[in-house]
Structure 1
């Protein structure tokens, strides 16, 4: 294997880590751009609202995008208004709730990165909290400071207060320190939740580590081949219809899956402990009909979670 192939294989094996690193760099770049270009603290009593909007509004947008880009979201909700039972296998709403929790955890990756980086930078938080007029908060920040601190706290982040420069600088440093401490707590909490959820998924896995690895490879290959074959068959069908139209003749026969078949392979995968299937498509090809096994649970373990959280 030449060095280029080794590099490609390494990137493929580590695609989740590389993807998250790339997302972190984009988040840091976006936060810096907001800080230097778009963010201008008003230094008034509107500081609280303005600072928190810049801190949480982009995170909310990233959360929505995270839901939108996850294919499992659409597998779960597409057609659910017409066929609610698709969301509740065997009439158990717990399965749907479990899937939605995983979708939410995956979607929260980018927002948590944004808020963490913003808190470590400190400008959004400092602006917001300098406008919070809670008496206890103001007294804490202005302790042992000039009397002007109580009246001009909101102007600290702009550096245009009448209070002595050391007092103004001390308040600003205290706000930034609070922001950074909150940022590190958020990072540690997110890392701990990620570790515990991964350990739990691995401990609850019904298959071995090597089979999990094979499973992930299979899912990637199935997705790759699905894209190739859908392009090929769509092109053939389009060509057949256009030739029939332009040549004014009856179209040739063209076999396509039924709506029921499409519906079956589009549902979320359900793992069956006593059978060895690696996807909904695999199970459908083997059976050709919906599975009726009594014991089935949505495939929410290590395999599909890691496969769907891959960024590249």
Structure 2
């Protein structure tokens, strides 16, 4: 029993926990943004040193600008559960990627959503890096295109063309005023590109969300329920997996050490795992919210492949 004096505190704590649980996606993006800003500052201050060489500036600057973005994109793909549900086993059975022609659009949609989700962190990195300008300044100062060099050094001394790659470095034979002016131009260009990237990403996100909701086969409240259900199903699946894996391990170890036949242990067969591992696509004619629910509510789920009629197996596939 909770003392009456502590009930208001517990209620406030539960309310706070529910708030964080409901906002965990936004909190996650906030943490990602803070980590990206911190990582960019660490790279800029501790490890980045522009070589001030025409032959190396471009490669060095772009490696710091694009390299972390590529790594973040790959990490985003690695952490995507949907990607592995779609991809696992497809080399042995390519039809798993698209078991039915009608479902190909759904599979492509899942793959598109995976790529878009993995692009969030790289876009954050590129936006922050461009707004800071350090990597862009180093890369562009190594340009060897004569037209661009002439544009940057227009109305300036001939030294500008020879010393453009050293604009970030000291000492430089370029006049201080010219050097500062070139740095301001490069930084302004970088920041403009950064804001263009931010505005383009935000606009694309808004348009994509509007299009997705406009084409949704369910109402907003049902879609909200669906999202909550999928989160809860994933949480419970993890807890059930741990519990049953523990029980199975204990049963096998007990059988081994006691030198006895193992006790009967109900466990899904291989075909059941295959069914619930497929990507779910919504059908208005079914009141299901996941492949797991579709499977457990199917009255013929316990049929074995040998006993199942061919037409029934086709309908389940």
What TM-score does the superposition give when structure 1 sets the normalisation length?
A: 0.91
**Conservation of the 8 A alpha-carbon contact between 1:67 and 1:107:** yes
Q: SS of the counterpart of 1:248?
A: coil
Question: Are 2:112 and 1:89 aligned?
Answer: no
Deviation of 1:270 after TM superposition, in Å, equals 1.8
**Residue 21 of structure 2 is aligned with which of 12, 15, 25?**
12
Q: SS of the counterpart of 2:167?
A: helix
Q: Describe how 1:192-231 pairs up with structure 2 within 5 A.
A: 192-231=203-242
Partner of 2:47: 38
Q: Describe how 1:40-119 pairs up with structure 2 within 5 A.
A: 40-45=49-54, 46-91=56-101, 93-119=104-130
Deviation of 1:110 after TM superposition, in Å, equals 0.5
Q: SS of the counterpart of 2:249?
A: helix
Q: How far apart, in 2, do the equivalents of 1:292 and 1:203 lie? A: 30
Q: How far apart, in 2, do the equivalents of 1:231 and 1:196 lie? A: 40
Q: How far apart, in 1, do the equivalents of 2:105 and 2:216 lie? A: 19
**Conservation of the 8 A alpha-carbon contact between 2:85 and 2:277:** yes
How many residues align structurally? 294
Question: Are 2:198 and 1:187 aligned?
Answer: yes
Deviation of 1:203 after TM superposition, in Å, equals 0.7
Question: Are 2:154 and 1:143 aligned?
Answer: yes
Deviation readout 1:122-172 (Å, 9 max, x if unpaired): 000000000011112111211122221000100001132111100001001
Structure 2: 5+ residue runs without aligned partners? 1-9, 302-312
Question: Are 2:169 and 1:158 aligned?
Answer: yes
Q: Name the Cα RMSD after superposition.
A: 1.6
**Residue 140 of structure 2 is aligned with which of 106, 113, 129?**
129
Q: How far apart, in 2, do the equivalents of 1:210 and 1:291 lie? A: 33
Deviation of 1:63 after TM superposition, in Å, equals 0.6
Structure 1: 5+ residue runs without aligned partners? 295-312
**Conservation of the 8 A alpha-carbon contact between 1:159 and 1:168:** no
Residues 232, 291 of structure 1: CA spacing in aligned structure 2 closer, same or farther, 3 A cutoff?
A: farther
Q: SS of the counterpart of 1:146?
A: coil
Q: SS of the counterpart of 1:158?
A: coil
Residues 146, 291 of structure 1: CA spacing in aligned structure 2 closer, same or farther, 3 A cutoff?
A: farther
**Conservation of the 8 A alpha-carbon contact between 1:126 and 1:172:** yes
**Conservation of the 8 A alpha-carbon contact between 2:106 and 2:281:** no
Q: How far apart, in 1, do the equivalents of 2:126 and 2:171 lie? A: 28
Structure with bigger RCO (C-alpha 8 Å, 6+ apart): 1
